[in-house]
Structure 1
Amino acid sequence: MKRLLAMLSITLLILAGCGSGGNFEAQTNWKVEDFKFENQRGEAVSLDDLKGNVWLASFIYTNCTTECPLMTFNMSDIQKTLKDEGIEDYKIVSFTADPTFDTPKVLQEYIGNFEVVDESKWNLLTGYSQEKIKKFAADNFKTAAIKNPNNNEVMHGISFFLVDQDGVVVKNYNGYTDVPKEEIVMDVEALIADGK
C-alpha cells in the first residue's frame, strides 16, 4: 500500500510538472475601455487591433531620466526572451504619459535607442490629451499618469500589465526593479495556451 501511494504521488508530481498547458490564473479583472491612439509609425492602433492577442502594457515618457529607460530596457529584455522561447502571439503597448511632447517621431527615435528584437510587435502610443491619459491610466490600469504643471516631470506607475486576448488586465508586475521576467514570460505563454 505504501509503495502504491508513493508511486501515485510521483505520478501526480510528474503530471503537474509537464508543460505549462495554460491554466493561467488571473489576479485582476480590469476591462480596458475602447481606445484609438497613434503609434510611433504614425499608424492608428485601437483596442480592436489588439483583440485576440495577449499584450504587455506600460506607461513611460521619453523625457524621463529615471524609471522609463530602465523599464523600456526591461521590456525589450522580456521581448528577447519571448523570441528565444519561440512565443509569437503577443504585442507590447507603451502608452506615453507625456503626449504633448511625445509625438510619433519622438517615440520612434526613443525606441531606436534600445535593442528591440521585433519593433513590429511594439506600439508606443500617443495622440491624446494629458487629461485623457490621466483618466485612461486610472480607470483601466489603476495607475497614475499625472504631469507636474511646474516642470516636465510626469508621475506615473512603474508596473507592467498583462492583458488577455479580450482586453482585460489580468495581472501586473514591477517593471522597474526586481522585474520577474521569467514569470512574465511563463504567464504570457500560459495565457496564450489558454486562448487556443
Structure 2
Amino acid sequence: MKKGLSVIAFFMLIFLTACGGGGKIEGALNYEVEPFTFTNQNGDSVSLEDLKGKVWIADFIFTNCETVCPPMTAHMTKLQQEAEEAGVDVEFVSFSVDPEVDTPEKLKEFARNYDLSFDNWHFLTGYDQETIEEFAVSSFKAIVQKPKNNDQVIHGTKFYVIDQNGVVVKDFNGVENTPYEEIINVVKALQ
C-alpha cells in the first residue's frame, strides 16, 4: 500500500511540476520565449534572463506605424496605469518590428507621446529584421514581415502575458476591446 501511494505521489509531483505557472491559467498557450538580449530605449541591454522571476506583458510595434501601433500603445499605457492602481507588479515589453529604423532614441521619442512610465516598460530594438521575424514566430507564434519597398511592417496585434519562467500563457486583442481587467486577473493569478 505504501509503495502504491509513493508511486501516485511521484506521478502527481511530475504532473504538477510540468504545469509550471501556466498550469494556473485555463487554456494556457505555453509557448516558450527563446533567450534574447536586446537594447531598450535607454540604450541598456534587456534579456530574457533579466525578466525571469517577473510576470510581463509584451507586444510588437514600430514607430512609423500608421494603423494599429498607436492604439496598441495607448491600450498598453492604460493597462500599465490600471496595473499600478491595482497594485499589480508587472513589466511591459514592446518589441520593435522595424529595428533598422527604430533606434533607442526614436523609440523613446515615440513613447513620449503617451502618458506612460519607463520604470517598468522596455521598448526593445538592437537586432536585425530577420532576427525579429524569426523570434516573433518561434516565441509568440506571431507574424512579422517587412515588405520590400514599403515602410509599413506587417505584424501581430496581440498582447501576450508571460510568466516568471518566460512562458507565454495567454494572448489578448491589443487593438480594440482590450480586456484590461481580464489581463490584470491573469497576471494576479500568476503571482
Matches within 5 A, 1:51-90: 51-88=52-89, 90=90
CA distance, structure 2, for counterparts of residue 126 and residue 25 of structure 1: 32
Partner of 1:39: 40
Partner of 1:8: none
TM-score normalized by structure 1?
0.84
Q: How much is the aligned-residue C-alpha RMSD, in angstroms?
A: 1.2
Q: Structure 2: 5+ residue runs without aligned partners?
A: 1-22
Summarize deviations over 1:8-52 as a string: whole Å, max 9, x none. Answer: xxxxxxxxxxxxxx9433520111111000000100000000000
CA distance, structure 1, for counterparts of residue 170 and residue 109 of structure 2: 30
Partner of 1:105: 105
Give the partner amino acid of 2:110.
Answer: Y
SS of the residue 1:25 aligns to = coil
Q: Structure 1: 5+ residue runs without aligned partners?
A: 1-21
Matches within 5 A, 1:169-180: 169-180=168-179
Give the partner amino acid of 2:113.
Answer: N
SS of the residue 1:56 aligns to = strand
Percent identical pairs in the alignment equals: 47
Does structure 1 conserve the Cα–Cα contact (< 8 Å) formed by 2:66 and 2:152? no
CA distance, structure 2, for counterparts of residue 163 and residue 25 of structure 1: 14
* Aligned-pair CA distance for 1:147: 0.4
Aligned length: 169
Partner of 2:3: none
2:162 pairs with 1:163: yes
Partner of 2:152: 153
